[in-house]
Structure 1
Amino acid sequence: MHEELLVLGVKVAASTVWEIVRDAGIDPAPKRAATKLDPALLAQLTTTAGEWATAQRTS
């Protein structure tokens, strides 16, 4: 909700949003189950991140 307000140009602290939501009786969303990446996708992401880090060090 905080980010949505920022997009609209409304500047408000995240703690203020939390207080408003809590006072309205809205409970936090349940924790999401951990998502597991496909091993092939994880390998590709790891390689890409390593290549990016190497390029950053050499430039």
Structure 2
Amino acid sequence: MNEDKIRSQWKQLAGKLKEKWGKLTDDDLKVDGDSEYLAGKIYDRHGIARDEANKQVKEFGLAL
């Protein structure tokens, strides 16, 4: 998914992101389309390795 498309659809994606990574907060998702920031929050909230968080974000369809 390209960056412009991600930004334009961020509100719809935010709900799906919270379903997949339930510990994310609304504040965590306020940065529209920043996949590196998102991976960092997944790393922080879920206690998984940074590389694994990046991989999961990429697999979700958000480019890093």
TM value normalised by structure 2 = 0.24
Structure ID, larger Rg: 1
